[in-house]
């Protein structure tokens, strides 16, 4: 009886939501690619998506800061993911903070239908405010994994992606020319225009 029950459970597709979050330069996309590669090695079908607005490294590929790449499908709206992901074992979504709250419903639908959903994104913006749908995705996820960058000023664990230019719009695509990872203390010192202190 137990043997049959275990065998049946192994064959069932069990959906779930995993969130990888943290500041810029913390390895979120690297971890997303690693998990998706493992799924490929297990001969699972995968589909990967990213917001069409993110063309920093490539129009199509997802590219980590370490230049690891994996092919993706750029989408304008979260609802487009459902059209491509039907019957897929594993769905990866990068830069989820750029989607609106529709992404929450999409991820729930996929997980409820038996798909493993792996999401990567910034949990807070450069002001320290929870970013877009990310806090909701963290709340409904079975697993939340927070990656940490290193503060470029003191070497402590970074807390935030500090913006280097005077631009207060929430969404501003950029890399090391526009952002640097800082710990809370160094970020506060920068905001207050004080010299960085030792953390």
140 in a structural domain:
yes
85 in a structural domain:
yes
155 in a structural domain:
no
54 in a structural domain:
yes
Global pTM? 0.81
**Tens digit of pLDDT at every position of the chain (199 positions):** 443 334 434 445 689 999 999 999 999 999 999 999 999 999 999 999 999 887 555 555 566 556 567 888 999 999 999 999 988 999 999 999 999 999 999 999 999 999 999 999 999 999 999 999 999 999 999 999 999 999 999 999 999 988 876 755 555 554 556 889 999 999 999 888 754 445 4
Place of tokens 């990310």: 134
Place of tokens 């939340």: 144
47 in a structural domain:
yes
The predicted pLDDT at position 40 comes to: 92
The predicted pLDDT at position 18 comes to: 98
49 in a structural domain:
yes
173 in a structural domain:
no
Point out the catalytic residue in the list 30, 95, 142, 180.
Answer: 95
Place of tokens 């990866």: 92
Alpha carbon 57 to its chain centroid, in Å, reads 16
Residue 74 belongs to domain spanning: 12-148
The 3-state secondary structure of 64-91, one letter per residue: CCCCCEECCEEECCCHHHHHHHCCCCEE
**Total domain count, the chain:** 1
The CATH number assigned to the domain holding 135 equals 3.40.50.300
3-class state of residue 62 by DSSP? strand
197 in a structural domain:
no
- Residue 95 among the catalytic residues: yes
């Amino acid at each position: 009886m137990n043997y049959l029950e275990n065998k049946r459970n192994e064959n069932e597709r069990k959906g779930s939501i995993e969130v990888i979050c943290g500041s810029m330069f913390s390895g979120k996309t690297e971890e997303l690619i690693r998990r998706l590669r493992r799924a490929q090695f297990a001969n699972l079908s995968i589909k990967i998506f990213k917001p069409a607005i993110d063309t920093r490294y490539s129009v199509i590929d997802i590219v980590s800061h370490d230049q690891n790449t994996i092919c993706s499908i750029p989408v304008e709206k979260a609802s487009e993911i459902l059209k491509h992901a039907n019957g897929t074992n594993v769905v990866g979504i990068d830069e989820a903070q750029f989607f609106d709250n529709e992404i929450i419903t999409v991820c729930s639908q996929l997980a409820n239908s038996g798909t493993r959903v792996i999401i990567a994104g910034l949990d807070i913006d450069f002001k320290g405010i929870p970013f877009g749908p990310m806090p909701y995705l963290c709340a409904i996820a079975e697993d939340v994994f927070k990656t940490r960058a290193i503060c470029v000023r003191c070497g402590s664990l970074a807390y935030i992606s500090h913006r280097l230019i005077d631009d207060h719009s929430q969404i501003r695509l950029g890399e090391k020319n526009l952002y640097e990872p800082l710990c809370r203390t160094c970020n506060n010192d920068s905001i207050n225009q004080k010299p960085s202190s030792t953390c």
